[in-house]
Amino acid sequence: MTVIKRKDELKVVGTRPIRPDGVDKVIGRAAFGADLAMPGMLVGKVKRSPHAHARIRKIDTSRAKALKGVLAVITAADLPNIPSEEAFMGEGPMNFRDLSRNCMARDKVLYEGHALAAVAATSAAIADEAIELIAVDYEVLPHVIDVDEAMAPGAPLLHDDLITAGVEPKPNKPSNVAKRIHFEIGNVDQGFKEADIVVEGRYTTKPVHQAYIEPHACVATVGADSQAMVWTSSQGQFMVRAYCAKLLGIEISNLRVIPAEIGGGFGGKTLVYLEPLALAMARISGRPVKMVMNREEVFRATGPTSGASMEVKIGAKKDGRITAAQALLKYQAGAFPGSPVGPGCMTAFAMYDLKNVRVTGYDVVSNRCKVAAYRAPGAPISSYAVESAMDELAQKLGMDPIALREKNAAREGTKTVYGPMLKNIGYVETLEAAKKHTHYGIKLGPNQGRGVASGYWFNVGGESSAAVHIAEDGTATVVSGNPDIGGSRASMAMQAAEVLGIPIERVRCIVGDTASIGFTFMTGGSRVTFATGLATIQAAEKVVEDLKRRAAMIWDISPEAVDWRDGAAHPAGANAGNFQPLTLKEIAEKAGKTGGPIGAEVSLNAQSPGAGFATHVCDVEVDPETGYVTVLRYTAVQDVGRAIHPSYVEGQIQGGVAQGVGWALNEEYVYDSKGRLENPGFLDYRIPVASDLPMIDAVMVEVPNPSHPYGARGVGEVPIVPPMAAVANAVRAATGIRMTQLPMSPPNLRAALRKAK
Amino acid sequence: MPSFRYEAPTTVKDVVGLLASTKGVTKILAGGTDLLVQVRSGRTKADVVIDTKRVPGLIGIREQAGSFVIGAATPGAELGDHDGLVRAWPGVVEAANLIGSTQIQGRASLGGNVCNASPAADSVPALIAARAVAVVAGPKGQREVAVEAIATGPGKTSLARDEFVIEFRLPKRPPRSADAYLRFIPRTEMDIAVVGAGVNVTLDAGGVCTAAHVALGAVAPTAVLVPDAAAALVGKKLDDKVLAVLDAAARRACKPIDDKRGTVEFRTEVAGVLARRAAAIAFQRAGERR
């Protein structure tokens, strides 16, 4: 086990330096996905389905191809027909056939906005005109969007060959249920028999979008020698490389992916949409092709997360000890299998130390775009149901909601329903901090209520590479394989500076392209500060070893007799000799004479990332006449391991809460009777604006993660897990009404208030 | 963005001349905060866009013997900065200032808000309750039209092809008069009214209402003047009973639709709630003007 440094031993970690990528982003100099222009570049556009479900009888592209200025027109017929093959590249399982058919429909369109052709032309106006000239003959089919309706007998089938996995005996007929997942420990039926009190409820959530501000965008080129390049904004340049190579049959060494600055992803940029099309059209035309989605395309055709239908049942003794818990979770996957119902099942009860648990999940396809990961994929949905039920239980028991959670809290050694034992976790600490926070004692007024909810996220580690290079003036560059979404340039530079013993201002971090740094798993799963941080630390440690060796060479003593501290080599003790310290700068200046350039790269597969827990307290006021909910106060307590850059950690917590509050109150996909999205824009897809939220108090509890020398654990995802239940529980306290459907929008809450009267 | 012919004439006559002579879809541009968004998204097609901001008088606020004349292209920000207008017509100004964001307020105008003919336009119920009149210019000269007679349905107006609105006139205020506008949106700003309510009242020295006008937005194909709701206030001081009658009258006037922004039931209920709340603010403001 790694020895965790004490806080007082750290000079850089835990401080709040100015964000290194900040100035460019503030003044508009940062180059995002849509910012690259190349000589001779064409504009690519996508033809999309107006129908939620239809068979494509014929696509006639002849008139589009004949239009002057059009240099490439493609349909699925121009792309390889990829066979079914499972891969695990992103935050969830991925089938290359499905990915290919999501990028370009083959035989059937499965949702409104599904791409079925693309053009590249010399101007946007010509490309738009060409899109209109593509004639498609559709046989419109019945569609289904809601998860319960999609599971019902007689529902329109999306895929004729989809046989439910995980069911014995194997079904002999296709359905919309891609997979059944089941976890069980203990004796659940017996547990319910032993319960004094049982709460049961059915909960539903609507599909919501990640709502990143930057639409998907890329530029692709393919040279006459087959060497291809993609410039794109994504959560992983290596992910884009792998997917594009597979979908187009390109050798990986012939494809270089350059990560653009990314304007938000939240899991939604863990797939490819435009890149394979741009590459295919660049190959045909011999010209660079740029493709940029508009906001409507982003909403209609890219990664929302699932809407869900859930049933939760919890039984407890009078003293609050839970005797049994079960959940049935049905998640929309969108047009292709792959909803986050798996992690939804695993995280649902992970906050609690329970003997008898049963969780069943269904992954269900329906006629909306294929889901993509969204911040702690699956967990906010199941936690909304479970933590609402926990609130009901606390109410029935007459127990304080924090006390009920403390009574059942996961602790060191708690066994999860999905197998592993939890270790070095800080859940109880979040509960204690929430209870002690002044917020918890503030008196509430009329129509006001307070809600408490907890959440869990695994966090992941995985494959990462990082390099540290020392320049001849003694400054350092870190090259990381991860796009910087949550501040990883800062956290990588800080971790390297800590090891090297130099000020943060003398370390810069860049995000390398796929040809300039070793393979790195994408930015997701709250893994980068931990896993790529480890690679950075180890690369910096290698550099320090080298620096010590060079100092030893200069002093003509043994390397073991050299200490590295405060950015300089020192003789380890009196016996080592009496030498003036050699600073990093001094050694760097003489690098040519001591062995050449100084630098190291480390590639690793990081293990034991350290799970994250959070407990949130939310106060709301409800306008009973309109159903309008004002969030008055919000305190988010989280075990962050140890914060590398506390401001970034607080920002992650606040951002997760803001998204969760939007999910709770107003965000939803609204479909018309024909399955067409009615709100593909930020006017009617209502994420919170700044004035909708109070200052969110982010409280960091630090239970260091022993797998990382500075104790870091992932922090980016768990803050979106508790908010929906925290808000719902506060609304319950304010109104007496349990909102079992999200969003708790004014019309929905007002309707519930009216019904309760 | 699709291309179109852009004209920026400097006289009313030239605008009318262009409207009469141009072929295809011709659009009047004031602030452009609706029009340009619609053209950009493809929802509206425009062959010719006539910018009216260079026509003298189209931007600016004039006070004439106690009444106000507001150029149709005057940005919302200028309305909010005009102390006299804010004092006389706080409801009209607060309605206009609710449109969009601070940036949008630098352009968004009453002329655009009225002629875009959205049932949910924020300034329209306030202008109707204020008994505002639009001055319409055409080939035969100018005519005055009550604001409620401009929009005839969502996106449709009573203006002829060669007519456009040059200004709005707000009547002279008797003492102890004030107005108020409230809208309901699911968040705090940057949104479109699910329901809007404008109330304009005059009180006597004893606080009894002597004149009232109530208008509602987003509850019918156009914003509507609700005489029954006004009648509930005239001759009365504001108490719970009066408010209940007002609430019921406002609800009766609603003919809303179910859509992504709200249900029939919700809109109808909230129209009553907002009418009550706006009336309370208007009464309070009027009562403070002694």
Domain limits, chain A: 7-29+461-605, 378-459+610-756
Q: Residue A690 contacts by C-beta under 8 Å, 6 or more apart in sequence?
A: none
| ipTM > 0.90 for the complex | yes
pLDDT value of position B66: 86
Q: What is the C-alpha to C-alpha distance for residues A612 and A455, in angstroms, rounded to an integer?
A: 8
Per CATH, A7-29+461-605 and A378-459+610-756 having the same topology is answered yes
pLDDT value of position B42: 85
pLDDT value of position A302: 97
Nearest chain B residue (CA) to A628: B186
Are residues B188 and A747, on separate chains, in Cβ contact within 8 Å? Answer: no
**Do residues B226 and B249 make contact, with C-beta atoms less than 8 angstroms apart?**
yes
pLDDT digit string (tens) for A537-548?
Answer: 999 999 999 999
What stretch of H or E contains A25?
A: helix A22-27
Nearest to B73 by CA among B39, B40, B107, B30: B30
Smallest CA–CA distance, residue B268 to chain A, in Å, is 11
Question: What would the mean pLDDT of A390-411 be, rounded to a whole number?
Answer: 98
**Do residues A117 and A47 make contact, with C-beta atoms less than 8 angstroms apart?**
yes
pLDDT digit string (tens) for A16-73?
Answer: 999 999 999 999 999 999 999 999 999 999 999 999 999 999 999 999 999 999 999 9
Are residues B263 and A751, on separate chains, in Cβ contact within 8 Å? Answer: yes
Beta strands at A507-511 and B61-64: parallel, antiparallel or unpaired: unpaired
Nearest to A663 by CA among A300, A307, A270: A307
Looking at CATH, the fold of the domain delimited by A378-459+610-756 is given as: Aldehyde Oxidoreductase; domain 4 (3.30.365)
Nearest chain B residue (CA) to A668: B260
| Closest partner CB to B187 (pick from A125, A296, A666) | A666
| Closest partner CB to B190 (pick from A628, A678, A689) | A689
The CATH architecture one would assign to domain A7-29+461-605 is 2-Layer Sandwich (3.30)
Smallest CA–CA distance, residue A476 to chain B, in Å, is 43
* Mean pLDDT for chain A overall: 96
Q: B119 — contact with chain A (CB < 8 Å)?
A: no
Residue listed under structure tokens 């926070």: A437
Q: B191 — contact with chain A (CB < 8 Å)?
A: yes
Angle, helices A427-436 vs A401-408, to 10°: value is 160
Could you tell me how many CB contacts below 8 A there are between chain A and chain B? 54
Beta strands at A42-48 and A289-292: parallel, antiparallel or unpaired: parallel
Query: Could you tell me what percent of chain A has a pLDDT over 70?
Result: 99
pLDDT value of position A45: 98
A698 pLDDT more than 60 = yes
Q: B184 — contact with chain A (CB < 8 Å)?
A: yes
A90 pLDDT more than 60 = no
Question: Residue ranges per domain, chain B?
Answer: 5-51, 61-170, 177-287
- Catalytic residue numbers of A read 717
A91 pLDDT more than 80 = no
CB contacts of B261 in chain A (<8 Å) are 684
A1 pLDDT more than 60 = no
**Do residues A249 and A227 make contact, with C-beta atoms less than 8 angstroms apart?**
no
A92 pLDDT band (50/70/90 cuts)? low
Nearest chain A residue (CA) to B186: A746
| Closest partner CB to A670 (pick from B194, B260, B265) | B260
- Taking only the tens of pLDDT, chain B with its 290 residues reads 678 999 999 999 999 999 999 999 999 999 999 999 999 888 899 999 999 999 999 999 999 888 999 999 999 999 999 999 999 999 999 999 999 999 999 999 999 999 999 999 999 999 999 999 999 999 999 999 999 999 999 999 999 999 999 999 999 999 999 999 999 999 999 999 999 999 999 999 999 999 999 999 999 999 999 999 999 999 999 999 999 999 999 999 999 999 999 999 999 999 999 999 999 999 999 999 86
Are residues B187 and A754, on separate chains, in Cβ contact within 8 Å? Answer: no
Q: Per DSSP, what are the bridge partners of residue A702?
A: none
Nearest chain A residue (CA) to B101: A689
Smallest CA–CA distance, residue A385 to chain B, in Å, is 24
Q: Residue B117 contacts by C-beta under 8 Å, 6 or more apart in sequence?
A: B150, B151, B152, B153, B154, B155, B156, B157, B222
Candidates A45, A685, A750, A757, partner chain B, best to mutate (most B CBs within 10 A)? A750
| Closest partner CB to B186 (pick from A666, A678, A691) | A666
Looking at CATH, the fold of the domain delimited by B61-170 is given as: 3.30.465
Q: Per DSSP, what are the bridge partners of residue A360?
A: A182, A328
Q: A746 — contact with chain B (CB < 8 Å)?
A: yes
Buried b (16+ CB within 10 A) or exposed e, B201-212: bbbeeeeebeeb
| DSSP states along A135-179 | EEEEEE-----SHHHHHSTTPPPS-TT---BT-SSPPSS--SEEE
How far is CA B165 from its chain centroid?
Answer: 13
Nearest chain B residue (CA) to A296: B41
Smallest CA–CA distance, residue B99 to chain A, in Å, is 13
Q: A123 — contact with chain B (CB < 8 Å)?
A: no
pLDDT digit string (tens) for A145-184?
Answer: 999 999 999 999 999 999 999 999 999 999 999 999 999 9
pLDDT digit string (tens) for A94-109?
Answer: 899 999 999 999 999 9
Q: What is the C-alpha to C-alpha distance for residues A48 and A619, in angstroms, rounded to an integer?
A: 43
pLDDT digit string (tens) for A466-491?
Answer: 999 999 999 999 999 999 998 999 99
Cα dist from A49 to A81, A108, A562, A676, B204, whole Å: 20, 10, 68, 10, 63
Q: A31 — contact with chain B (CB < 8 Å)?
A: no
CB contacts of A663 in chain B (<8 Å) are none
Nearest chain A residue (CA) to B192: A683
Q: What is the C-alpha to C-alpha distance for residues A667 and B214, in angstroms, rounded to an integer?
A: 33
At residue A61, what is the residue type? T
| Closest partner CB to A626 (pick from B188, B265, B270) | B270
Are residues A751 and B190, on separate chains, in Cβ contact within 8 Å? Answer: no
Q: B2 — contact with chain A (CB < 8 Å)?
A: yes
First-to-final CA distance of chain A? 60
Cα dist from A128 to A70, A114, A124, A275, B34, whole Å: 10, 17, 6, 19, 23
Q: Per DSSP, what are the bridge partners of residue A629?
A: A622
Q: Per DSSP, what are the bridge partners of residue A218?
A: A232, A291
- Out of 3.40.50.1820, 3.30.390.30, 3.30.390.50, 1.10.8.190, select the CATH number for domain B177-287: 3.30.390.50
| Backbone dihedral region for residue A244 (phi beyond 0: left; psi -120 to 50: alpha; all else: beta) | alpha
**Other C-beta atoms within 10 Å of A421: how many?**
10
CB contacts of B263 in chain A (<8 Å) are 747, 751
Nearest to A38 by CA among A264, A222, A243: A222
Nearest chain B residue (CA) to A295: B41
CB contacts of B266 in chain A (<8 Å) are 627, 746-747, 750-751
Q: B265 — contact with chain A (CB < 8 Å)?
A: yes
Q: A407 — contact with chain B (CB < 8 Å)?
A: no
pLDDT digit string (tens) for A338-369?
Answer: 999 999 999 999 999 999 999 999 999 999 99
| Closest partner CB to B266 (pick from A678, A679, A747) | A747
| Closest partner CB to A750 (pick from B190, B191, B269) | B269
Q: What is the C-alpha to C-alpha distance for residues A251 and A254, in angstroms, rounded to an integer?
A: 5
The interface residues of chain A toward chain B in range 689-708, judged by CB-CB distance below 8 A, are 689, 691-692
Q: A745 — contact with chain B (CB < 8 Å)?
A: yes
- Out of 1.10.3470, 3.40.1710, 3.30.43, 1.25.10, select the CATH number for domain B5-51: 3.30.43
